[in-house]
Amino acid sequence: MELQLRWHAQFQFAGYYAALEKGFYKDAGLDVIITEGQPDKKPVAQVLGRVAHYGVGNSEVLLTRLQGAPLVALAAVLQHSPSVLIAKKSSKIATPHDLIGKKVMIMGEQVDADFVAMFHNENIDYTQIDLTPSSYQIQDLVDDKVDVFNSYLSNEPFYLHERGIEHTVINPSLYSVDFYSDILFTTEQELKGNPERVKAFRQASMKGWRYALKHQDEIIELLMSKYHVDKSRAHLKYEATILQQLILPNVVDLGHMNPWRWQHMANTFIDAGMVDNAKKLAGFDYLALQQNHQEKWTQVGKLTALISVIAVVMLIILSGAYQRTKKEIRLRKRAEEELKQLAYTDALTGLANRHQFYTLASQALKNAARNKSLIAFCYIDVNDFKVFNDNYGHYFGDQALKLLANTLVEQTRNSDIVARLGGDEFVLILQDISSRNEAEAWVAKIKQKIEQPVAVEAEMIQISVSIGLGLYPEDGQSIDKLLRVSDNEMYAEKKR
């Protein structure tokens, strides 16, 4: 039996290679062949064409199901999609609206459905964007052959960072398109004809993922030595770190699928005019199908127990099962709440992430407009952070970012907003200030505090930052405008 991947061997598919090489598939009685993806070998087409039995896809798996194809989702490995658009920072492209008139590479409207949904949510007519098929070569962005490139958070940013190319990321999740990704799927025919094989394949695959996440160095070595992955060890380690943040193995079960999330994704496609309705959603979620199947048998068991001589024993068993179910529901609800919290929080620093920042900033602007007050957007960037990482290592780089975040929180008021946009970029919103002079005094004090040497595990480290200021309403009255102004001011300071 064949598993069709989305792309070449890399840590993105580590769980499946671990299941193969550690014998998990073999132990389940499965003879599995893993086939790498190519531009002309897309998983959905390969599985529907019966070339492969199973595939790994993105949101196009659900979209194709809603369009009538008999696909079934077995597991959502990534709880949040790493699929983003990347542009050079020098291009000044920072939001979806900046894409109008620009040359943007994507894999196609069907495969990159999350981008199309994002355009719709932002009321952008994407026919005004010069969409072109992806070359799968990030070098085209480096060489300015394209303005924007479709990317994975776990891949292309590392490539650009290594080459000292500053870039911006447009993430659909910031525009209400928060989709599952790397969805393991099959067909209704495979599920109906081989239900035990489907169950065994899913279990062995998830076991492989658990092993890969716990033994990352071993699997990285395997990918490099046996599968000749065209990435450095550092790149694969970076990929593993980012993917683990998106898999959330400590928050939800590996492969967890929430029917509400599927419905939300389907509604997004309907709102974008990509499908007419969600009638085909029923029967798509494998875990929901299994649960329904189990619930039916439970009902049969209850009826049988009523007329059997062991009614009392059965009632005791069912009572225990009920209590376990209640506990499981409580744990599941708690996990869902933790998952929602993680969706709005930066994993490294604990600050608001980019998604939560836009929500908080929008409310701050509304309050300022209502109260006719001044607020200041402060764009903060660590100077020569790549050099710092090269000198001290990524561990101390992470510690420096945590210390910076703590300093921003300590030096500001509860009413102020502190967020990490990504990498070494932070934003501070000072609310209810009296003048630009007051904002500049705050910035000077914060900058002085950040740049003091600090001891970390017997190592003295020191960073410097550049901070740009944008004042509402004088410099702008929208989030994007104020970010652009403060970002430009920050770069102007770097040059001074």
Do 465 and 382 form a contact (C-beta atoms < 8 A)? yes
Query: pLDDT tens, 430-470?
Result: 999 999 999 999 999 999 999 999 888 778 889 999 999 99
Do 41 and 242 form a contact (C-beta atoms < 8 A)? no
- pLDDT of 170 over the 90 cut: yes
Q: Using the 8-state DSSP alphabet, how is residue 53 labeled?
A: S
Q: What is the pLDDT of residue 311?
A: 57
Give the residue with greater pLDDT, 61 vs 175. 61
CATH architecture of 2-77+181-284: 3-Layer(aba) Sandwich (3.40)
Q: How does DSSP assign 58-89, residue by residue? A: -THHHHHHHTT--EEEEEEEESS--EEEEEEG
Q: What is the pLDDT of residue 248?
A: 85
Q: Using the 8-state DSSP alphabet, how is residue 372 labeled?
A: T
Alpha-carbon distance values, 308 to 265, 289, 296, 312 (Å): 46, 29, 18, 9
**Amino acid (1-letter code) at residue 329:** I
d(CA 103, CA 442): 40
- Residue range 233-261: average pLDDT? 92
Q: Using the 8-state DSSP alphabet, how is residue 41 labeled?
A: B
- pLDDT of 55 over the 50 cut: yes
- pLDDT of 330 over the 80 cut: no
- pLDDT of 317 over the 90 cut: no
d(CA 95, CA 103): 14
CATH number of this structure's domain 84-174: 3.40.190.10
Instruction: For the sheet with 417-422, list strands across it.
Output: 417-422, 425-433, 374-382, 465-472
164 three-class SS:
coil
Beta-carbon contacts of 91 under 8 Å, excluding residues fewer than 6 positions away, are 147
d(CA 214, CA 228): 22
Do 104 and 131 form a contact (C-beta atoms < 8 A)? yes
Q: What is the pLDDT of residue 318?
A: 62
d(CA 427, CA 425): 7
Q: Are strands 71-78 and 54-57 parallel, antiparallel or unpaired?
A: unpaired
Exposed, middle or buried: residue 60 (CB in 10 Å: 0-12, 13-18, 19+)? buried
Structure tokens at 253: 């079960």
Alpha-carbon distance values, 37 to 4, 7, 16, 289 (Å): 7, 4, 14, 29
Residue whose pair of structure tokens reads 């500053």 in the numeric block:
166
30 three-class SS:
coil
Query: pLDDT tens, 404-423?
Result: 999 999 999 999 999 998 88
Do 401 and 381 form a contact (C-beta atoms < 8 A)? no
d(CA 208, CA 23): 9
Band of the pLDDT at 319, cuts 50, 70, 90? low
Query: pLDDT tens, 13-37?
Result: 999 999 999 999 999 999 999 999 9
Q: What is the pLDDT of residue 279?
A: 95
Give the residue with greater pLDDT, 324 vs 173. 173
Tell me the range of 24-28, 290-294, 477-481 where mean pLDDT is highest.
24-28
- Residue range 50-67: average pLDDT? 96
Q: Among 46-50, 198-202, 243-247, 307-311, which is the least confidently predicted range? A: 307-311
Residue whose pair of structure tokens reads 């939800």 in the numeric block:
252
Give the residue with greater pLDDT, 331 vs 436. 436
Question: Which residues are 417's β-sheet partners?
Answer: 429
Q: What is the pLDDT of residue 310?
A: 58
Q: What is the pLDDT of residue 315?
A: 62
- pLDDT of 328 over the 70 cut: no
Tell whether domain 354-495 is in CATH 2.40.30.110: no
In angstroms and rounded to an integer, the radius of gyration of the C-alpha atoms of the chain is 25
d(CA 298, CA 279): 27
Q: How does DSSP assign 14-26, residue by residue? A: HHHHHHHHTTHHH
Q: What is the pLDDT of residue 297?
A: 43
Query: pLDDT tens, 79-122?
Result: 999 999 999 999 999 999 999 999 999 988 888 899 999 999 88
Closest by CA to 85, choosing from 109, 104, 63, is 104
Instruction: Estimate to the nearest angstrom the gap between the alpha carbon of 113 and the chain centroid.
Output: 15
Q: What is the pLDDT of residue 342?
A: 59
Give the residue with greater pLDDT, 423 vs 233. 233
Question: Which residues are 106's β-sheet partners?
Answer: 133
d(CA 267, CA 282): 14
Q: Per residue in 256-284, is it b (16+ CB within 10 Å) or e — as a string?
A: bbbeebbeebbebbeebebbeebebbeeb
Fold equal for 2-77+181-284 and 84-174: yes
Q: Per residue in 456-484, is it b (16+ CB within 10 Å) or e — as a string?
A: eeeeebebebbbbbbbbeebbeebeebbb
Band of the pLDDT at 298, cuts 50, 70, 90? very low
Give percent above pLDDT 90 in the chain: 72
Q: Identify how many contiguous H helices and E strands the chain contains and give both numbers.
A: 19, 16
Q: How many CA atoms are closer than 13 Å to the CA of 118, on its beta-carbon side?
A: 22
Give the residue with greater pLDDT, 383 vs 332. 383
- pLDDT of 160 over the 50 cut: yes
Do 422 and 489 form a contact (C-beta atoms < 8 A)? no
Band of the pLDDT at 332, cuts 50, 70, 90? low
Exposed, middle or buried: residue 176 (CB in 10 Å: 0-12, 13-18, 19+)? middle
Query: pLDDT tens, 256-277?
Result: 999 999 999 999 999 889 999 9
CB atoms within 10 A of CB 437: 9
Q: Where are the domains of the chain?
A: 2-77+181-284, 84-174, 297-343, 354-495
d(CA 426, CA 104): 27
- Residue range 314-325: average pLDDT? 62
- pLDDT of 295 over the 60 cut: no
Q: What is the pLDDT of residue 300?
A: 46
Q: What is the pLDDT of residue 250?
A: 82
